């Protein structure tokens, strides 16, 4: 096992709310090694995106980050703005969901890619940067890269735009790529192409990928390990095979069961009743209200992540049952 | 299924949008072909899945069926009668639509009871008290608490709002509901709730559905037949089981292969390369030929007609080399 | 692009033509009649003389044929003679137009620059104390009427402090640039302040939206510094709607300019059109109003061109 590139310990993010602080995520711990892909799955509001933003120091203004993020042995939480700027886009790069809005509409593709290079590489000028951008566009599988570099985002198709966003993220050879729902806005046939591209790039560069999605099936296609998040907590963490072979948390089991399977028809889809709680509900397991196995104990204390099998952790009192 | 009477039929429907240009000093005329020569029918009580990627024209066709978009060519029939301005007035009540975005589709200043009763109020059906009673009945049918009636849309989650939208569509007791991507704005765990609700309603009321979606996995759980659209053309029309067991058109095959599956590590190399061309300039011949692994010369010139797949009379595909 | 501009110019010409007819007809409806005014000072005038004068001036003709005559002359560059000034209309109009355009351009530029600076600063921390202060200033600018502001400026800076002259465009006998500039200061500030409040609100709103947009987040994720994020990424996109509104507003600046000129007794278009209407100087009023229309049309055209230039998504065709 290689030494982890990224080590997150007890990460929490909180925002001021009604006089107190509302913890959007708490107790997030995991490690990610070079060349590996970590999938983060959860529904909207589970805190997966804010966790990603914490990794690049972009948690929006009144938000407060606590805990520890160690990248390559260096502590990131609490580092200066200048240190964050030097790191972002260079060693840790990010790809966002919506390729149309993630690109600057009034700047050519080539210039936007060149910007990463100009910002981070000493002595790199715009002209040279734009020349290198053409090569990067070619590397992410864009035809006629010279013409595309001169184009504006609206002149490219959705899939090509996301390739351009990836080229931009890869410009400085990052060691960690954080991809937040990178295929959600794309059609399935294009989604397959982008997933393929990310895997190819990982094979070539050995970068680590943190891949965030609401879709368990998409994550299962690309990740080595998976974290399932619910209402700001990690509820289960496991290698991908183990997670699908033996899902331990009732929420994970529910997610897997409710996802329609294209190959088998069932008369009625199983459902997870209710919906995600809005805010901190006080003590107890946050899934208790929707959980078929919950009892009084679940509503008193919050379960901790416990290792049930090698590498397979779950936060549930009833997981053994 | 085939015994059931035809409810709605599209006969060679085309829709094009004139994007301006042409005329005095205007430059090149630009026409967007959203749908070309599409024919299919929906029987009473049937659920037809209309599947396609963005830009395939599926929503445009949904709007045609719901009477929100007049076709540029072709005829729409409802219970055997060709639709025009006069017949629409009568049929409109029988065809309702549910939209993708449950946040934008409900008037934020109206209480839920008014939202649900509105289709009745517009047509002056029933008394005020009668309409309120109907709204109360519908709220329960779609699985919302009774006290939802006096609340406003912003007090509800996305899934609950979609239930309200469905209740509104049900109000005038329609024969067909056009559901345009009703699940895509919802969380995964909520999607299955709404999907089951639609199934229940269909069984309870004998409703027909035109279910428009980009998600083949969902289609398999709800529909009786599937229509696959690509760049405004109907490329395959088949009973659900046949289509999933043995897709005939290369595009359907690629679409099915691209659906991510739980626990199945993807085989590398995507099913098809490239992207859908612009509907402003659809390719000649078969619209799929630039991306098709089977494309031959004929595909570049001749538009293939929708015809039965070999040995499967119910499964129609528009391909010169269909499986 | 050239085709677009050509088409817009043809459209503008058509609008101008329609406007000329509308204004021509409206002026004909004005109470009073130039012949009545002429003969009013002549006690010996008979109705026959009035009729003869009417014939000489062509006022006995129907409206349409009079308009036709005027139009034919106008396209040949002859806008007629000003009755009040006893000089060709264009000779009277040109200096007034130049004076007004100078006032408009300088105060517009000042208003825009100030609005950019204030709007951007306010958008950086919406809801903060600086934003509150700027919003207060902007609302004051929007709500204070031009004439009141002009009066206050005159009271404070001319009457009490004697910093600037209260009226006119130059001191007689002093031809220096400095003197001209001193006379321009208060009108420019008055007109600029009247515009800048609205502009600031607009720049602020547009910048707040732009700073929240995804591509600004992308720029931050690339490691761009805050200065670059705000000025290059956010400002460029925020500029698109702002410029459109500002350019469209340029036309409405005319109204403000007319008021300002009146308050500071400057000989511009405002005073000229006002006097010509009161004095039933048909030709001058008509031409003056047409030039005002032309300025508005030109500013709209410039707005469209600026829009296409700033936003590559817009193709002007």
pLDDT at C251: 74
Query: pLDDT tier at A162 (50, 70, 90 boundaries)?
Result: very high
My answer on whether C242 and C107 are in the same domain is: yes
Query: pLDDT tier at B265 (50, 70, 90 boundaries)?
Result: low
Final residue belonging to a domain, choices C39, C56, C78: C78
Place of tokens 């991809």: A179
My answer on whether C153 and C196 are in the same domain is: yes
Tell me whether strands B81-82 and B208-213 are parallel, antiparallel or unpaired: unpaired
Q: Is C18 on the interface with B (CB under 8 A)?
A: no
Final residue belonging to a domain, choices C78, C107, C128: C78
My answer on whether C56 and C157 are in the same domain is: no
Q: Is C215 on the interface with A (CB under 8 A)?
A: yes
Task: Name every chain C residue with its beta carbon within 8 A of the beta carbon of B280.
Answer: none
User: Are B61 and B13 spatial neighbours (Cβ–Cβ below 8 Å)?
Assistant: yes
Task: Name every chain C residue with its beta carbon within 8 A of the beta carbon of B21.
Answer: 317
B293 CA to chain A: closest CA distance, Å? 14
My answer on whether C35 and C111 are in the same domain is: no
Of C72-81, C127-136, C288-297, which has the strongest mean pLDDT? C127-136
My answer on whether C260 and C155 are in the same domain is: yes
C214 CA to chain B: closest CA distance, Å? 19
Tell me whether strands B95-98 and B176-180 are parallel, antiparallel or unpaired: parallel
My answer on whether C24 and C160 are in the same domain is: no
pLDDT at C34: 67
C10 CA to chain A: closest CA distance, Å? 30
Mean pLDDT of chain A: 90
My answer on whether C123 and C172 are in the same domain is: yes
Q: Find the closest chain A residue to B218 by CA distance.
A: A260
Distance CA C304, CA C317 (A): 12
Query: pLDDT tier at C261 (50, 70, 90 boundaries)?
Result: confident
pLDDT at B269: 66
B4, pLDDT greater than 80: no
Q: Find the closest chain B residue to A41 by CA distance.
A: B188
Does C115 fall in a domain?
yes
Q: Which region among A133-147, B11-25, B263-277 has the lowest average model confidence (pLDDT)?
A: B263-277
User: Are A105 and A155 spatial neighbours (Cβ–Cβ below 8 Å)?
Assistant: no
A321, pLDDT greater than 80: no
User: Are C303 and C255 spatial neighbours (Cβ–Cβ below 8 Å)?
Assistant: no
Crossing angle of helices C89-124 and C282-310, rounded to 10°:
40
User: Are A34 and A174 spatial neighbours (Cβ–Cβ below 8 Å)?
Assistant: no
User: Are C199 and C111 spatial neighbours (Cβ–Cβ below 8 Å)?
Assistant: yes
Beta bridge partners of A239: A225
Does C1 fall in a domain?
no
The predicted model gives B86-110 an average pLDDT of 86
Q: Is the Cα dihedral C281, C284, C289, C290 positive or negative?
A: positive
Query: pLDDT tier at B1 (50, 70, 90 boundaries)?
Result: very low
Place of tokens 């209200």: A289
Query: pLDDT tier at C316 (50, 70, 90 boundaries)?
Result: low
Distance CA B49, CA B216 (A): 9
Of C41-45, C196-200, C269-273, which has the strongest mean pLDDT? C196-200
Judged by CB atoms closer than 8 Å, whether chains meet at A189 and B270 is answered as yes
B206, pLDDT greater than 80: yes
Cross-chain CB nearest to A89 (options C222, C233, C240): C222
Does C267 fall in a domain?
yes
Does C84 fall in a domain?
no
Q: Is A214 on the interface with B (CB under 8 A)?
A: yes
Has the ipTM of the complex gone over 0.90? Answer: no
User: Are A255 and A228 spatial neighbours (Cβ–Cβ below 8 Å)?
Assistant: yes
Q: Which region among B93-97, C27-31, C78-82, C182-186 has the lowest average model confidence (pLDDT)?
A: C27-31
Of A35-44, B20-29, C183-192, which has the strongest mean pLDDT? A35-44
Percent of chain A whose pLDDT exceeds 70 = 97
B3, pLDDT greater than 60: no
My answer on whether C96 and C162 are in the same domain is: yes
Task: Name every chain A residue with its beta carbon within 8 A of the beta carbon of B214.
Answer: 187-188
Token digits for B290?
């630039």
Of C111, A271, A19, the C-alpha closest to B143 is A271
My answer on whether C134 and C201 are in the same domain is: yes
The total domain count for chain C is 2
Distance CA B52, CA A268 (A): 24
Does C256 fall in a domain?
yes
Task: Name every chain B residue with its beta carbon within 8 A of the beta carbon of A191.
Answer: 258, 260
Mean pLDDT of chain C: 84
My answer on whether C41 and C173 are in the same domain is: no
Distance CA C102, CA C237 (A): 30
Q: Over the stretch C154-189, which tens digit does the pLDDT of each residue have?
A: 888 888 888 887 777 777 777 777 887 888 888 888
Radius of gyration of chain C (CA): 24
Task: Name every chain C residue with its beta carbon within 8 A of the beta carbon of A94.
Answer: 218, 221
E strand or H helix that includes residue B171: none
B263 CA to chain A: closest CA distance, Å? 6
A76 CA to chain C: closest CA distance, Å? 15
Q: Over the stretch A231-267, which tens digit does the pLDDT of each residue have?
A: 999 999 999 999 999 999 999 999 888 888 878 887 7
pLDDT at B292: 92
pLDDT at C266: 80
Task: Name every chain C residue with its beta carbon within 8 A of the beta carbon of B24.
Answer: 7
Of A261, C144, C299, A134, the C-alpha closest to B215 is A261
Whichever domain contains C116, its CATH number is 1.10.3720.10
Neighbours of C133 (CB within 10 A): 13
Distance CA B245, CA B238 (A): 11
Q: How far is CA B210 from CA A208, A285, B86, C111, C239, in A?
A: 43, 41, 23, 56, 44
Query: pLDDT tier at B101 (50, 70, 90 boundaries)?
Result: confident
Does C7 fall in a domain?
no
B270, pLDDT greater than 70: no
My answer on whether C148 and C295 are in the same domain is: yes
Of C222, C79, B168, B205, the C-alpha closest to A93 is C222
Task: Name every chain A residue with its beta carbon within 8 A of the beta carbon of C311.
Answer: 105-106
B2, pLDDT greater than 70: no
Following DSSP, what letter does each residue of B107-151 receive, concatenated?
-TTS-HHHHHHHHHHHTT-S-HHHHHHHHHHHHHHTT--GGGGGS
Final residue belonging to a domain, choices C78, C98, C115: C78
Beta bridge partners of A7: A31, A70
Contacts of C150 (CB under 8 A, 6+ apart): C186, C187, C190, C259, C260, C263, C264
Q: Is B25 on the interface with C (CB under 8 A)?
A: yes
Does C3 fall in a domain?
no
Distance CA B264, CA B255 (A): 16
Task: Name every chain B residue with its beta carbon within 8 A of the beta carbon of C317.
Answer: 21, 26-27
C195 CA to chain B: closest CA distance, Å? 35
My answer on whether C20 and C167 are in the same domain is: no
Q: Is A256 on the interface with B (CB under 8 A)?
A: yes
User: How many residue pairs bridge chain A and chain C with CB atoms within 8 Å of each other?
Assistant: 72
- Report helix, strand or coil for A112: helix
Residue C152: domain span: 90-310
User: How many residue pairs bridge chain B and chain C with CB atoms within 8 Å of each other?
Assistant: 9
pLDDT at A8: 96
Query: pLDDT tier at C112 (50, 70, 90 boundaries)?
Result: very high
Judged by CB atoms closer than 8 Å, whether chains meet at A105 and C215 is answered as yes
Q: Over the stretch C139-157, which tens digit does the pLDDT of each residue have?
A: 988 888 888 888 888 888 8
């Amino acid at each position: 096992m290689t030494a982890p590139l990224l080590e997150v310990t007890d990460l929490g993010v909180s925002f001021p709310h009604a006089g107190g602080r509302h913890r959007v995520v708490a107790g997030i711990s995991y490690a990610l090694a070079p060349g590996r892909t970590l999938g983060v799955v959860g529904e909207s509001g589970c805190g997966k995106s804010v966790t990603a933003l914490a990794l690049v120091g972009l948690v929006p203004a009144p938000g407060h980050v606590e805990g520890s993020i160690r990248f390559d042995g260096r502590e990131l939480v609490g580092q200066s703005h200048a240190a964050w700027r030097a790191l972002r886009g260079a060693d840790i790069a990010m790809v966002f969901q919506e390729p149309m809005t993630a690109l600057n509409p009034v700047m050519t593709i080539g210039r936007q890619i060149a910007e990463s290079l100009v910002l981070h590489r000493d002595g790199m000028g715009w002209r040279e940067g734009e020349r290198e951008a053409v090569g990067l566009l070619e590397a992410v599988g864009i035809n006629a890269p010279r013409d595309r570099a001169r184009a504006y985002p609206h002149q490219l198709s959705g899939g090509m735009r996301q390739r351009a966003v990836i080229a931009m993220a890869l410009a400085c050879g990052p060691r960690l790529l954080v991809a937040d729902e990178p295929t959600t806005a794309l059609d399935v046939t294009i989604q397959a192409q982008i997933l393929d591209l990310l895997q190819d790039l990982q094979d070539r560069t050995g970068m680590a990928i943190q891949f965030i999605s609401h879709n368990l099936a998409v994550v299962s296609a690309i990740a080595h390990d998976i974290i399932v998040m619910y209402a700001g907590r990690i509820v289960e963490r496991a290698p991908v095979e183990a997670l699908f072979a033996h899902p331990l948390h009732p929420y994970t089991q529910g997610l897997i069961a409710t996802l329609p399977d294209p190959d088998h028809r069932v008369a009625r889809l199983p459902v997870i009743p209710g919906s995600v709680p809005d805010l901190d509900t006080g003590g107890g397991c946050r899934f208790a209200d929707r959980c078929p196995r919950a009892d009084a104990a679940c509503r008193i204390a919050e379960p901790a992540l416990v290792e049930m099998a090698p590498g397979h952790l779950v936060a549930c009192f009833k997981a053994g049952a | 299924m085939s015994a059931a009477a035809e409810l709605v039929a599209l006969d060679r429907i085309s829709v094009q949008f004139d994007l301006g240009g042409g005329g005095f000093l205007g430059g090149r005329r630009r026409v967007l072909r959203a749908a070309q020569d599409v024919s299919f029918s929906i029987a009473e009580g049937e659920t037809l899945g209309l599947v396609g990627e963005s830009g395939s024209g599926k929503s445009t066709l949904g709007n045609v069926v719901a009477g929100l978009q007049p076709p540029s060519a072709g005829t729409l029939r409802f219970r055997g009668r060709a639709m025009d301005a006069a017949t629409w007035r009568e049929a409109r009540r029988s065809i309702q639509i549910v939209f993708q975005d449950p946040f934008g589709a409900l008037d934020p200043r109206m209480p839920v009871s008014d939202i649900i009763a509105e289709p009745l109020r517009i047509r002056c059906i029933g008394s005020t008290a009668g309409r309120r009673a109907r709204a109360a009945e519908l709220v329960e049918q779609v699985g919302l608490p009774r006290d939802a009636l006096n609340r406003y849309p912003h007090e509800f989650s996305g899934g609950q709002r979609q239930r309200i939208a469905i209740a509104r569509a049900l109000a005038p007791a329609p024969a067909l509901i056009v559901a345009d991507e009703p699940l895509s704005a919802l969380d995964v765990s909520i999607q299955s709730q709404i999907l089951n609700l639609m199934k229940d309603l269909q069984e309870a009321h004998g409703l027909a559905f035109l279910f428009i979606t980009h998600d083949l996995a969902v289609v398999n759980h709800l529909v009786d037949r599937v229509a696959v659209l690509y760049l405004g053309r109907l490329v395959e029309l088949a009973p659900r089981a046949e289509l999933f067991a043995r897709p005939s058109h290369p595009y359907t095959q690629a679409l099915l292969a691209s659906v991510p599956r739980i626990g199945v590590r993807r085989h590398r190399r995507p099913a098809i390369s490239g992207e859908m061309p612009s509907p402003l300039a659809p390719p000649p011949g078969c619209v799929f030929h630039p991306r098709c692994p089977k494309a031959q010369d004929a595909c570049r010139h001749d538009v293939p007609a929708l015809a039965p797949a070999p040995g499967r009379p119910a499964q129609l595909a528009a391909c010169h080399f269909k499986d | 692009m050239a085709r677009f501009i050509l088409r817009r110019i043809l459209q503008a010409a058509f609008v101008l033509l329609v406007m000329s007819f509308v204004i021509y007809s409206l002026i004909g409806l004005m109470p009073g009649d130039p012949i009545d005014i002429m003969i009013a000072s002549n006690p010996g005038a008979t109705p026959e003389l009035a009729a003869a004068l009417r014939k000489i001036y062509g006022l006995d003709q129907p409206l349409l044929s009079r308009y036709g005559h005027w139009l034919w002359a106008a396209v040949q560059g002859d806008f007629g003679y000003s009755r009040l000034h006893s000089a060709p209309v264009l000779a009277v109009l040109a200096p007034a137009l130049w004076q007004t355009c100078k006032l408009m351009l300088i105060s517009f530029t000042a208003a825009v620059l100030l609005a950019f600076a204030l709007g951007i600063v306010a958008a950086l921390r919406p809801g903060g104390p600086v934003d509150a202060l700027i919003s207060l200033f902007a609302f004051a600018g929007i709500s204070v009427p031009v004439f009141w502001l002009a009066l206050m400026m005159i009271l404070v800076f001319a009457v009490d402090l004697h910093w600037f002259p209260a009226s006119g465009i130059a001191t007689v006998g002093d031809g220096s640039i400095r003197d001209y500039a001193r006379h321009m200061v208060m009108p420019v500030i008055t007109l600029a302040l009247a515009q800048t409040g609205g502009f600031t609100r607009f720049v602020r709103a547009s910048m707040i939206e732009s700073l929240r947009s995804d591509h600004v987040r992308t720029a931050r994720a690339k490691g761009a510094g805050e200065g670059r994020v705000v000025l290059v990424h956010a400002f460029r996109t925020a500029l698109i709607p702002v410029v459109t509104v500002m350019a469209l507003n340029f036309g409405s600046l005319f109204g403000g300019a007319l008021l300002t000129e009146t308050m500071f007794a400057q000989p511009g278009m405002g005073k000229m059109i006002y006097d010509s209407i009161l004095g039933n100087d048909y030709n001058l009023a008509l031409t003056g109003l047409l030039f005002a229309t032309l300025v508005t049309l030109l500013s709209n055209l410039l707005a469209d061109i600026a829009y296409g230039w700033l936003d590559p998504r817009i193709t002007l065709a």
